Amino acid sequence: MSAWLKYILTFVAVFAFRLLPFRAPNVEPILASVMPLSKRFGALPGILFGVLSIVLYDAVTSGWGTWTWVTALAYGALGAASYFYFKNRSASRGNFVRFSIVGVLFYDAVTGLTIGPLFNGQSFSAALAGQVPFTVLHLLGAVVFAALVSPALYRWFAMSESPARAAAPAQTLSN
């Protein structure tokens, strides 16, 4: 199966998961997918996955707003950071979990503590009070997905490639 097809199938699966009704907020496999994608294929595919996950989801569900661009840029930044983090690290469960913890803390600080206060007149203390339980839930979901989904996705992305190619740090999606 080509790298592009795996990328698209992963994107569709994440998008469909996010459309599930009654799903807890921010319990989603975006970051769990971005990490192995950026490790395997490079920074740009990881950035695009994060940005498009937000932009297309908002287009279908709530429409675009300021939150779309802030969250999309935050996920894009995580795609780039993931590439650099994994550039000289193995695609291990522990590394995926560690990055997901730092990534969620970054993402929730950037999105949860800026959108309300900067664009909606919310006080910082109210944003912080609301963000704490949300971040705890986000961390729990991210750690579970990073531990279970990220290693499996990375193995799937590397599957059926020659051993030399599978060991390469990043490949483009041209194959």
Q: What is the pLDDT of residues 122-147, one digit of tens each?
A: 898 888 998 899 999 999 999 999 99
Domain boundaries, the chain: 3-167
* pLDDT (average), residues 14-18: 96
pLDDT of residue 70: 94
pLDDT of residue 89: 96
- For the chain, percent helix, then strand, then coil, each to nearest 5? 75, 0, 25
Percent of the chain topping pLDDT 90: 71
> Which of these ranges, 104-113, 143-152, 163-172, has the smallest mean pLDDT?
163-172
CB distance 31 to 142 below 8 Å:
yes
* pLDDT (average), residues 101-113: 94
CB distance 113 to 129 below 8 Å:
no
* pLDDT (average), residues 39-45: 95
Percent of the chain topping pLDDT 70: 90
Q: Which among 173, 168, 33, 150 is positioned nearest to 91, based on CA atoms?
A: 150
Q: Using alpha carbons only, how large is the chain's radius of gyration in Å? A: 16
In this structure, CATH architecture of domain 3-167: Orthogonal Bundle (1.10)
**The model scores a pTM over 0.85:** yes
Task: Give the span between the Cα atoms of 112 and 132, in whole angstroms.
Answer: 9
Q: Which among 114, 102, 130 is positioned nearest to 69, based on CA atoms?
A: 114
> Which of these ranges, 65-69, 71-75, 90-94, 165-169, has the smallest mean pLDDT?
165-169
CB distance 152 to 10 below 8 Å:
no
